[in-house]
Structure 1
Amino acid sequence: MNKIEEYEGSLQKLLSVLKKNRDAVDKQLLNTIYKQAYDDLLRQINQAATAYVHEVTLRGLVLNPDIPFDTQVNVLNQTIEQSGIMLEMGKVLSETYDVEKLHQLALQLREKLELALWPYINLQTCLVADLFDLEKEPVIYNTLTQQIYVNGVWVDHPIDLQGNLLVYAKQDTDNIGI
């Protein structure tokens, strides 16, 4: 079982308890007599949901080590804020208790984060020419993602760069705030 599955199972259990409590107990009682236990449950759900969403959205996210970390984190934070997805996630948790829908929203957010980071990642895209076989057509390769560009799609394909010529395009870093 991987971490995402662990977090998902834990979150699903907590949301099930929340739903049962809300269905069986008057809201006024939850906020008065059972306030401490109810608040603890909500805190646990918040922690579990945060861990789950972080795992889905941030695990394995590629950053460019040549660009200041703070610059990339600022772009990520702006993207998260502007997406409005965090509000949707809150609604899903509190209204529908649907972990699968939360997962879909987390994947949407991850896609937005990857797109926001692409200008920094793309700085490591180059043409790779085999110096031992100059007749062979060079490939477009990103050294950070270890992917080649084939027929309009990036495909995982690590390349041993030993004995290859890497040609990088001159990048206009002004447009990406570096």
Structure 2
Amino acid sequence: MNNIYELGSSLCELLSTLKKNREYVPLEILRTQYRVPYETLKKQIGDTATAFVKEITLSKLMINPDVSLEQQISVIQQTITTSGMLKEMSYTLSKLYDVELLHRQALKLRTYIEDALYPYIALQDCLVVDMERIEDTPIIYNTITQMVYENGQWSKQDLDLNGKLLLYVKSSSPMPATTEQINNGF
């Protein structure tokens, strides 16, 4: 979180400078006489904004370690491309100079990415059966999120899996099955 704050603060300062330059210096002069510092400032804004958005959208993102990383990255890239958020973010930076709005847009994009990755995360949903108390109702658990499904919602819960049987539900996989998955019966 500290890195997000630092990047956001830096971005605010850079955007403030850009806004002042554009308000007080004609664009033609910025593009000719002050071209090098103007382009440098725009590059700094782009680099900082990219780092800021990446930190918000991709930091500590949950992925399924049992599914190809390339496949999940492809889903992330496709989600970013089709979301339309990059265009909105660009407008927010270049016309509105609004870091708070950019932050909200990045959080919205993160939600889109998490939703797109959910089918991969859900592959790790399982029933946890306590072998010492076999008569108890199994618990629905996700081994990636470490969350338990109870009363119609997921909640964080520490669960000791020692001596437990984990039963994974066969699901319609969002990706093509590998030969290894077919041979192992998913």
State the TM-score, normalized to the length of structure 2.
0.91
Measured in 2, the distance between the counterparts of 1:152 and 1:29 equals: 61
Q: Secondary structure at the match of 2:133?
A: coil
CA offsets 1:104-143 (integer angstroms, 9 cap, x no match): 1101100010011111111100011222233433221110
Name 1:130's counterpart in structure 2.
Answer: 130
Q: Which moved more, 1:50-59 or 1:154-163?
A: 154-163
Structure 2, unaligned runs of 5 or more: 178-186
Q: Which segments of structure 1 move beyond 6 Å, counting only runs of 4 or more?
A: none
Q: Which moved more, 1:1-10 or 1:28-37?
A: 1-10
Name 2:27's counterpart in structure 1.
Answer: 27
Measured in 2, the distance between the counterparts of 1:19 and 1:152 equals: 49
CA offsets 1:35-94 (integer angstroms, 9 cap, x no match): 100000000000100000000000110111111111111111100000000000000001
> In 2, are the aligned partners of 1:119 and 1:176 still within 8 Å (CA)?
no
- Equivalences for 1:65-84 in 2 at 5 Å? 65-84=65-84
- Equivalences for 1:1-178 in 2 at 5 Å? 2-173=2-173, 175-178=174-177
Measured in 2, the distance between the counterparts of 1:137 and 1:19 equals: 61
State the TM-score, normalized to the length of structure 1.
0.95
**Identity of paired residues, percent?**
48
**How much does 1:151 deviate?**
2.5
Q: Give the residue type in structure 2 aligned to 1:169.
A: V
Q: Give the alignment's Cα RMSD to 1 decimal.
A: 1.3
- CA gap 1:38/1:177 in 2 versus in 1, 3 angstroms: farther
Q: Which moved more, 1:121-130 or 1:156-165?
A: 156-165
**How much does 1:150 deviate?**
2.3
Q: Secondary structure at the match of 1:159?
A: coil
Q: Secondary structure at the match of 2:148?
A: strand
